[in-house]
Amino acid sequence: MIKPHGADVLAPRYVANETERNALLSEAEFLPSILLNSAAAANAVMLGAGYFTPLSGYMNVADAMKVATDMHTTDGLFWPVPVLNLTDSVEGIGVNRRIALRDPNVAGNPVMAVIEVAAIEEVSDEQMDTMTEAIFGTLDEAHPGVATFRSLGRYAVSGDIQVLSFSYFATEFGDTFKTAVEIRDQIGERGWKTVVAFQTRNPMHLAHEELCRMAQERLNADGIVIHMLLGRLKAGDIPASVRDACIRKMVDVYFPENTVMVNGYGFDMLYAGPREALLHAVFRQNMGASHLIVGRDHAGVGDFYGPFDAQGIFDELPEGALAIQIFAADHTAWSKKLGRVVMMREVEDHTPEDYVFLSGTRVREMLSEGIAPPPEFSRPEVAEILMEHYQLEARQPAVGE
Q: Is the pLDDT of residue 398 over 60?
A: no
Provide the pLDDT confidence category of residue 397 given band limits of 50, 70 and 90: low
Same-domain pairing of 143 and 260: no
Q: Is residue 286 part of a domain?
A: yes
Residue 96 is predicted with a pLDDT of 64
Q: Which of 137, 171, 205 is the last residue of a domain?
A: 171
Same-domain pairing of 155 and 25: yes
For the stretch 31-47, pLDDT in tens is: 999 999 999 999 999 99
Q: Is residue 244 part of a domain?
A: yes
For the stretch 163-173, pLDDT in tens is: 999 999 999 99
d(Cα 76, Cα 226) in Å, to the nearest integer? 31
Total count of domains within the chain:
2
The closest alpha carbon to 114, from 39, 12, 14, 11, belongs to: 14
Mean pLDDT of the chain: 94
Instruction: Give 78's DSSP letter.
Output: B
Asked about 37 being catalytic, the answer comes back as no
For the stretch 210-256, pLDDT in tens is: 999 999 999 999 999 999 999 877 666 788 889 999 999 999 999 99
Residues 6+ apart with CB under 8 A from 238: 202, 203, 246, 386, 389
Query: Percent of the chain having pLDDT more than 90?
Result: 85
Containing structural domain, residue 277: 174-395
| Cβ(332)–Cβ(210) below 8 Å | yes
Residue 240 is predicted with a pLDDT of 85
Q: Which of 123, 141, 171 is the last residue of a domain?
A: 171
For the stretch 196-211, pLDDT in tens is: 999 998 889 999 999 9
Q: Is residue 5 part of a domain?
A: no
Q: Which of 21, 190, 202, 248 is catalytic?
A: 202
Asked about 202 being catalytic, the answer comes back as yes
Distance, C-alpha 190 to centroid of its chain:
24
| Strands 223-229 and 260-265, bridge-based pairing | parallel
Same-domain pairing of 245 and 161: no
Cα torsion for 144, 147, 150, 153, to the nearest 10°?
-100
Cα-based distances in Å from 157 to 46, 103, 188, 345, 370: 17, 16, 37, 47, 49
Same-domain pairing of 324 and 376: yes
Q: Is the pLDDT of residue 194 over 60?
A: yes
Residues 6+ apart with CB under 8 A from 67: 59, 73, 79, 80, 81, 82
Provide the pLDDT confidence category of residue 396 given band limits of 50, 70 and 90: low
Q: Which of 21, 154, 190, 201 is catalytic?
A: 201
Residue 400 is predicted with a pLDDT of 47
Q: Which of 102, 137, 171 is the last residue of a domain?
A: 171
Distance, C-alpha 344 to centroid of its chain:
26
Same-domain pairing of 151 and 272: no
Q: Is the pLDDT of residue 401 over 60?
A: no
For the stretch 58-103, pLDDT in tens is: 999 999 999 999 999 999 999 999 999 999 999 888 776 899 999 9
